[in-house]
Amino acid sequence: MAMIEVKNVTKQFGDLTVLDNFSVDFDHSGVTVLIGPSGTGKSTLLRCINGLEKIDEGDILVDGLSVNNKKNLKQIRKTCGMVFQQTVIFPHMNVLDNLTMSPIKLLRMSKAEAEDKARYYLDKVGLASKEKSRHNELSGGEQQRIAIARALMMSPEALLLDEITSALDPEMTREVLNILVNLAKEGVCMLCVTHEMSFAKEVASRILFMEGGKLVCDVSKDDFFGSVREENERINKFLSFIGE
């Protein structure tokens, strides 16, 4: 059984069909990169998997649990950590508390244990020195790295990352991507929406290209940048367009 099974999902906003009878599976391993033009429903897909948007038809199973059942959402969100483009570090607490809040409140972890774990992940994202900082004392890149650490605190089986670098300047983007590369090498399973093709080339095992609410292609990285690109006019154009 795949970890995430998206089965014939249709999602509409009013008249606009954003996901059109969409199906795809994700396994427990590797980095999957999801690309496609703006407005094709990439974010919507991720949000549906995490139960942030209700789906109109079809079903999504995460470890066999359906997102259509509200009772499963807590477990599903524990399985899939998510980081957004517009992530917020909660402004009423410092970085350490941002990290420890969910395990303490949701997993009943002891404060000491949660703080140890938080320090471990802060160290991992290279921000061990920032544990007492507030959100307004952090750069955009630092905020995203902390958000990654915060998502990891719940020990998710997979990370859903939605264009987490697209609001950052190149240098900060690099910082964040380096963290992701390290995590990928350690075997953290990720599903990312990103337009950073260098990142995709470095760590992705699988690439999905979607357009107009449909999956256009679903291939391995090597195929994508090799044969698929040469044969598929549309994908070639898209890649050239984003500067590849």
Compute the 3-state secondary structure of the chain and give helix, strand, coil in percent, each to the nearest 5. Answer: 45, 25, 30
Angle among Cα 104, 152, 26 to the nearest 5 degrees reads: 130
Phi, psi at residue 137, to the nearest 5°? -100, 10
Instruction: Pick between residue 143 and residue 194 the one whose CB is nearest to other proteins.
Output: 143
Instruction: Pick between residue 120 and residue 244 the one whose CB is nearest to other proteins.
Output: 120
> Is residue 50 part of the contact set for other proteins (CB under 8 A)?
yes
Q: How far is the CB of 46 from ligand ATP (least distance, A)?
A: 8
Instruction: Pick between residue 130 and residue 221 the one whose CB is nearest to other proteins.
Output: 130
- Cβ neighbours around 142 below 10 Å, total: 21
Lookup: tokens for 129: 């020195």
Binding positions for ligand ATP, 55-114, rule CB under 6 A: none
Lookup: tokens for 188: 């953290």
> Is residue 13 part of the contact set for ligand ATP (CB under 6 A)?
yes
Which amino acid belongs to residue 160?
A: L
What distance, in Å, lies between the first and last C-alpha atoms of the chain?
A: 35
Q: By the 8 A CB rule, do 9 and 55 touch?
A: yes
Binding site partner of 41, from ligand ATP, Mg ion, other proteins, none, Cβ cut-off 5-8 A by kind: ligand ATP
> Is residue 38 part of the contact set for ligand ATP (CB under 6 A)?
yes
Binding site partner of 87, from Mg ion, other proteins, ligand ATP, none, Cβ cut-off 5-8 A by kind: other proteins
> Is residue 43 part of the contact set for Mg ion (CB under 5 A)?
yes
Contact pick of 14, 86, 129, 187 for other proteins (by CB under 8 A): 86
